[in-house]
Structures are given as C-alpha cells and as structure tokens.
Amino acid sequence: MNTRRAALFRTIALAVAAIWGISTAVQAQDTIKIGWAISKTGPFAAGANVTTLPNYQVWVKDVNDAGGIKVGGKKMKLQVIEYDDRSNSEEMIKAVERLATQDKVDFILPPWSTGLNLAAAPVFHRLGYPQLAVTANTNDAVKFTSRWPGLSFWLGLPSELVDGLLETLTKLQKEGKIGKKIAMVAVGDQFGIEQSKAARAGLTKAGFDLAYDKSYPFGSQDLQPVVKDAMATKPDAFVAFSYPPDTFGLTAASQVVGFNPKVFFVGVGTAFPAFKGKFGAAAEGIMGIGASDPNLEGIKWYIQHHKQIIGREPDRWASPITYASLQVLQQAIERVGKIDRPAIIKEINAGSFDTIIGKVKLEKGLNRNFWAVGQWQGGNYVGIAPASKQGAGAPMVPKPAWK
C-alpha cells in the first residue's frame, strides 16, 4: 500500500512539474492563440470527427513541429483553446464569443456543418475573424461572402456538385455507355431536397427519364425497401443524395439484393475511410460526391501523414480541403507578417496559395479548386468530374459486379 501511495505521489508530482514546465515555456515564448468550437458530442460529432477536428490537430502538430508560424522574422508556436459546441448552434456561438472576448485568441477555426457555419458567420464577422468555412455548402454562398468578407466557401456550390454529376451522366449517355433511365433517392432534409431538386431539373432538361424519384426520412434504419423499388425500375444509373449513415445503408442493401446498375452514385460518406473499411473490394466502381486527386504528391503525402498521426486515413473529399484551408491561413499570416486580421482576411481573399490540393485562389470568397464527383478505383478515390480539371480520372462504367 505504502509503495503504491508513493508511486501515486510521484506520478502527481511529475504531472504537476510537467504542466508547470509547459506553462512557463509558453509564457517565455510568444505564441499564436488558436481557438475552435467543434462538435465533440451530439449528432454532429460523427461528421466533425472525420472531416474537421483531426485536420485541426494534424495542422497544429505540423506547425509546432516545424517550430511555429513565421511572423515577421519570429517563429511563433500555436497554442490551442478548444470548446465542445455539443452540436448546438447557441453553444457554438457562446463558445466563439468567449474565444474572442475572454480567451482573446488570435484566430478561430470554424465549426462543422453548413448550419453551424452559417449561424457563426455574422459573429465571426462582427468580431473580425476570418472564417474558412470548409464544411459549409450553400447556393447562396456569393451573397454571404459579399456581406461578410472574412467568410469563404471551399467545396463548390451545391448546384456545381450536381452539375458535375450531370456532366458525367450526360457524357456517358452520349457515348452509349448508359441508357436514359435514372433512379434517384434523397434524404428528406435540406441537403437532400436541394440537391435532388437541382438534379431533377437538370436530368429532365438533359432528356433523362426519371423512373424512380423518392425521398426517405433522415435516420431510416432499413433502406432495403427503397433499394428494391429503385431496382424494380431497372435503371441505368442509381443516384442517391444521402448522408453518411444512409450512404452506408443504401450501399449495403444494394449489395445484398444484388442491385448493380451501370452507375451507382451515393452521397456524403462515400469518401470516408469507414466506407472503404466496410465495403473493401466491393466499393470498386462506386461513385460519390466530392473527391481529391490521389495522384497529386500533396495528397499522397497528406493521406500517409494523416494516417500516421491520427491512426486512420482521412476522408477523401473535405478533409484534404480542410487541411489546405489551414495552409492558406498559415501562408496568409506569414505574408502579412503580423497578427493583423483585416490584412490577413484581405490576403486570403486576394492571394494565391500552394497547398496539398494544388493551387488555391479564391474568387469572390469561393475556392474553385474542387471536385464534384469521385469514384473508388483500385482502392483509391479518384476525382472524375469536372472532367476538364487537371488529374481527372476516366469514369469506370459499367460498375463491376459486387464482390
């Protein structure tokens, strides 16, 4: 008992010494304070923990391992203050206000999801912080960026993502690789409704035949009925504007009933490492929303690097873009050479940056370097649309049989 108590005492003493050591080290050195409020609990935690938080952690580690960000000849390390917004917009706004007014951080990294980012935008603007809202996606993006200059969007407009899919389908149809019959499903919330609305209009205009067009409630635990009815229409392409749990559910149900149309497209989550983990070789040929170019040196390095630090692969769509957005922030700070947020916002909007996803130059606050459609090809998630983009892969159609 005595030795155990002694051991415990030693541990505590060590811990105290360590913490004290860290805090004195921090005081002695000039640091940049970075804050973020992120959904660590609640329904958004699943998404935030895949796309956003790991990248914040990787970036902070990378910057600090390299000695810090160079600000006017002096290297400044990052010091992090983190809050959990509990997937709640009021909590998030409180945390952002607190970060700015009490913690007096130099920069605030944005929350996860379209909803939270749009809720945060006026607050970021009022407090004068740049907001690189990577996980926000809205057709009104330009309206918002002209109102709040610190705000920027990174994934392409929802309509542009749909355009990418339409471009792929139209091209395949013209080449005679697929027929005109499409089965479309969408999750019954804002994302699914907006995307399917745009797709419906575009598909009809392009002369496609929408044989099946239904929505299902978010959180549906059995999607086999949807898949069976879609399958009964014998479509050439299956298009689903789905969210992560249903993206997995639709794919699994299709695999079970042997629904294997020439084009199989599912929504958010297709690019997740868990998707590849679950379906393995059966993921081959599945198309999904967004992508990255696995042949870029930056992306190759990034996937390995993320795996090494976080212990798993990143998602292949918004994760690399999140990391790239942080590189943009870092380069903008270095170019301005001091913690002058208005000047940094100006530089983010006007400058041109080299990142892991290639060159980034915002136009009206929108990143134009994005992929609309990707496809699993040989264990890699390859960007296939816009086809005009450098590095675009050729779509693998028809999709191979389920393995």
For binding to another protein (CB under 8 A), which residues are involved? 39-43, 45-46, 48-50, 53, 87, 185, 188, 214-217, 219-222, 224-226, 228-229, 244-245, 248-249, 252-253, 255-258, 269, 272, 274-275, 277-280, 282, 312
Judged by beta carbon, residue 277 or residue 400, the one nearer another protein is: 277
Smallest distance from another protein to CB 146, Å: 34
CB 339 within 8 A of CB 333: yes
Smallest distance from another protein to CB 21, Å: 25
Judged by beta carbon, residue 225 or residue 342, the one nearer another protein is: 225
Judged by beta carbon, residue 148 or residue 259, the one nearer another protein is: 259
Judged by beta carbon, residue 95 or residue 332, the one nearer another protein is: 95
E runs forming strands in 272-395: 287-289, 352-355, 358-363, 366-367, 373-377, 380-385
Q: What is the DSSP letter of 149?
A: T
Smallest distance from another protein to CB 282, Å: 8
* Beta pairing partners, 32: 78
Smallest distance from another protein to CB 120, Å: 20
Judged by beta carbon, residue 216 or residue 381, the one nearer another protein is: 216
Token pair belonging to 171:
């091209």
Nearest one of 254, 251, 256, 298 to 271, comparing CA atoms: 251
Please tell me the distance from the alpha carbon of residue 180 to that of residue 174, in angstroms, as a whole number: 10
Which residue, chain included where needed, has tokens 């940049």? 32
Give the β-pairing of 74-84 and 69-71. Answer: antiparallel
Smallest distance from another protein to CB 197, Å: 14
By three-state DSSP, how is residue 133 classified?
A: strand
Smallest distance from another protein to CB 251, Å: 10
Judged by beta carbon, residue 21 or residue 219, the one nearer another protein is: 219
CA atoms within 13 A on the CB side of 42: 15
